[in-house]
Amino acid sequence: MINPFQFPLRSLALGLALAAALQTPAIAGSPEDGWGGVQAAGKLRCGAAVYPPYVMRDPVTGDYSGFFADLCRQFGEEVLNVPVEFVDTTWDNIVAGLQAGKWDMSLALNRTPTRALAVTFSEPAVPYEVTLVYNKANPKVPADAQSLADFDVAGMTIAVASGTAMDKSVSPLIQNATILRLPSSDEARLAVMSRRADVLADPSDTNRLFVEANKDWAVAMAPTPAIAKQGVGFGLNAAFPAKDVAALNIFIEEKVATGQVDRLVDKAVQQVLAEGQ
């Protein structure tokens, strides 16, 4: 019988390392590896915070939809030839999780200067503007309201989804009203519906859906001056190679130019409206 302890320790260590490597599934590479690291890992991990119609998640099946989820899935399958894995997160953590390497790409991030100091952005897939929704019967709201300043009065409550671009753009401008930060967009909308809050600050496209579903009382207003006008794109780790960011940008540019993004947006909007009926 061969005594295993007769082998040199170095040979034993190499053998153990080889065995462990054969038994360990592929893991994501470092951000510096770019899409090559994603392909080596065999999947594209997309950090997803729910915000219809950008990103939606079926509470029963856990399946993701929405036009940014669709774009992420198309990029993984059509360009990288790998499946996509959606990683559930919140808007408070979507940048920190990307920096920590918990996923490869964050969905539907507003391109803000502050975020740009922490992560790399793709080109925008869609434009973005904050609008305000309120109950037209609310006596607190001035009849001639045109700006955010008209709502920044004592006793007024403005609802936002915590950690979102709306939170970060509206909150610094408010001095007298109360900011009600809630975990999700649905809870922020419910706050206005129940009159727990007077105003909802949200993107123009999601507010359009909200008003469409509540025509009897809801009014949307694009304030002058604008609260925020930005683009919405994908977020990548700051260490991601520039050539790989360029590949994602070319993908987005083509999808926008050929009308495919518009079609994905229309599909997501119709899904939201159908589910609200």
The pLDDT of residue 131: 95
Rounded to two decimals, the pTM is 0.73
Quick: pLDDT tens for 200-229.
999 888 898 889 889 999 999 999 999 988
The pLDDT of residue 75: 98
Neighbour-count burial for 222-249, b at 16+ CB within 10 Å, e otherwise: ebeeebbebebbbbbbeebbeebbeebb
Residue of 277, 273, 135, 106 lying closest to 205 (CA atoms): 273
d(CA 196, CA 208): 21
The pLDDT of residue 2: 33
Question: What are the Cα distances from residue 257, in Å, to 24, 67, 180, 202, 264?
Answer: 42, 16, 38, 26, 13
The pLDDT of residue 205: 82
The pLDDT of residue 80: 97
Instruction: Give, in degrees to the nearest 5, the angle at Cα 176 between 171 and 179.
Output: 40
SS3 string, the chain, reads CCCHHHCCHHHHHHHHHHHHHHHCCCCCCCHHHHHHHHHHHCCEEEEECCECCCEEECCCCCCEECHHHHHHHHHHHHHHCCCEEEEECCCCCHHHHHHCCCCCEEEEEECCHHHHCCEEECCCCEEEEEEEEEECCCCCCCCCCCCHHHCCCCCCEEEEECCCHHHHHHHHHCCCCEEEEECCHHHHHHHHHCCCCCEEEEEHHHHHHHHHHCCCCEEEECCCCCCCEEEEEEEEECCCCHHHHHHHHHHHHHHHHCCHHHHHHHHHHHHHHHHHC
The pLDDT of residue 26: 40
Low-confidence ranges of the chain (pLDDT < 70): 1-29, 276-277
CB 198 within 8 A of CB 192: yes
Domains and CATH numbers, the chain: 31-126+230-276 (3.40.190.10), 129-229 (3.40.190.10)
Residue 152 token pair: 């920044």
Quick: pLDDT tens for 101-149.
999 999 999 998 889 999 999 999 998 899 999 999 999 999 899 999 9
